[in-house]
Homo-oligomer: A and B are copies of this chain.
Amino acid sequence: MKITDIRNATAPIASPIANAYIDFSKMNASVVAVITDVVLDGRPVIGYGFNSNGRYGARGLLDERFIPRLMEVPPEDYSDGTMLDPHRSWDLLFRNEKPGGHGERSVAIGVLDMALWDAAAKIAGVPLWRLLADRYRQGEADEQVFVYAAGGYYQPGKGLDALKDEMRGYLDLGYTVVKMKVGGAPLDEDLRRIDAVLEVLRGDGSRLAVDANGRFDLDTAIRFGTAVAPYGLRWYEEAGDPLDYALQAELARHYDSPMATGENLFSHQDARNLLRHGGMRPDRDILQFDCALSYGLVEYLRTLALLPDHGFTNRNVIPHGGHQMSLNIAAGLGLGGNESYPGVFQPFGGFADAIAVEDGHVALPQAPGIGFEEKSALIALMRQVTET
């Protein structure tokens, strides 16, 4: 088999929302299509990939460096003749890249890696979660995956009633745990927002996660943690700068309920530093690395392989991003769950059209590949933007 073409496009995922750090009005995403000469059902197998929200598309890097590296080599460098090998492809993509500096290119490679795994699973004729379970977990796959609804963004004119309506909507959709943004308003205002959402959750703090998006310094992080400690929240996410491991470790000494972080660490080396220096506690804390932003699944497997050395298991991992790639990884490799954005970042966020969330869990797509073909708005957009 060989790759005959790789198409590279940029699509808007702009949303009129803001977290404590950025607004999303100019956010976009890369979409790639890896076209192969393998024909199934009369059509060439095409693998699709995109990057999840929070980081911009990587069009220039893809065109200038990464797509040429795959297109310039003979097919035997990434294929055994019939099957595409994402691991060998990854080595080709990273050729002549220096260590360190893991950002942006980690998105470019993550997007391509997603498309390569989609194509590989399609060629194998199985959903990706099945392929992963067979290769890496003796065939055992989770039949459903815990998902939580991430929302509660700051929006101009959005009051407490609108926030409560939003959260009620998530419960109506079948979610049991919701997440809201904090840190973009003064503490007392954020506490009123939290109280409002807890009303909707009947006072059950274990069903509410809060996300500061790295906004707090150490004092503010501890002050916020102390203020919300009585609620027993599901988790307290990204209190400080994602690279400030010492802040995270110090917060752990002041905050007993679960903490979560990791969405802005884009390599196994950065993840390892969090595990070594960040004071994260295997008995309760959550790791949120997102393969689509961090060199893809090939690198993710390296990250997951580090966990046992530090007392963690795959169940500690609930990836950022709300996309089907992480859903497949969660089911196939036994992660702790997956993020979901019912309201925003469409059509990239969310799962197959026909699969509803029930009691906070989703079942899995059965189509070969990642399952994009079961999400009609997403596959339509991917096909449209990658057509020449």
A246 vs B101: C-alpha distance when bound (angstroms): 17
* Residue from the list B22, B23, B58, B276 in contact with A246, Cβ < 8 A: B276
Stretch binding the partner chain, chosen from A60-68, A151-159, A201-209: A60-68
| Contact across chains for A98 and B55 when beta carbons are under 8 A apart | yes
Chain B residue contacts of A241, Cβ below 8 A: 99-100, 269
Besides the known contacts A100-B266, A104-B105, 9 further A-B residue pairs in the complex with CB atoms under 8 A apart = A22-B97, A26-B96, A61-B104, A98-B213, A100-B243, A241-B269, A245-B277, A246-B276, A273-B273
B214 touches A243 (CB 8 A): no
Q: How far is the CA of A64 from the CA of B246 in the complex (A)?
A: 34
Tell me which residues across on chain B come within 8 A of A57, comparing CB atoms: 64
Known: A64-B59, A104-B61. A243 touches B99 (CB 8 A): yes
A100–B100 Cα distance when bound, in Å, is 13
A103 at the interface (CB under 8 A from B): yes
Q: How many residues of A contact B (CB 8 A)?
A: 45
- B residues less than 8 Å from A213 (CB atoms): 98
Q: Mark A71-108, 1 if CB is under 8 A from B, else 0.
A: 00000000000000000000000001111111111100
Task: Among A98, A242, A265, find the residue whose CB has the most chain B CB atoms closer than 10 A.
Answer: A98
In the complex, which residues of chain B have a beta carbon less than 8 angstroms from the beta carbon of A22?
Answer: 96-98
Most chain B CB neighbours (cut-off 10 Å) among A59, A96, A105, A214? A96
Q: A267 touching B246 by the CB < 8 A rule?
A: no
Secondary structure dominating the interface of A: loop
B61 touches A65 (CB 8 A): no
Taking CB atoms, residues of chain B closer than 8 Å to A106 are 101, 103
Contacting residue for A104 out of B101, B245, B246, CB 8 A: B101
Interface string of A185-228 (1 = CB under 8 A from B): 00000000000000000000000000001100000000000000
Among B54, B64, B246, the residue within 8 A (CB) of A56 is B64
Across the interface, which residues of B come within 8 angstroms of A64, CB to CB? 56-57, 59-60
Q: Does A270 contact B (CB under 8 A)?
A: yes
Given A60-B59, A64-B56, A277-B277, the answer on whether A214 and B100 have CB atoms closer than 8 Å is yes
13 residue pairs A–B, Cβ–Cβ below 8 Å: A21-B99, A56-B65, A58-B60, A59-B64, A99-B242, A100-B103, A100-B265, A100-B266, A100-B270, A101-B102, A101-B104, A101-B106, A246-B276
Q: How far is the CA of A54 from the CA of B101 in the complex (A)?
A: 11
Chain A 133-162 against B: per-residue CB contact (8 Å), 1 yes, 0 no? 000000000000000000000000000000
**Is the C-beta of A264 less than 8 angstroms from some C-beta in chain B?**
yes
How many whole Å from A87's CB to the nearest CB in chain B? Answer: 20
Whether A243 lies near B267 (C-beta < 8 A) is yes
Contacts of A245 in B (CB 8 A): 273, 276-277
* Best-buried of A23, A56, A103, A269 by chain B (most CB within 10 Å): A103
Contact indicator A55/B101 (Cβ below 8 Å):
yes
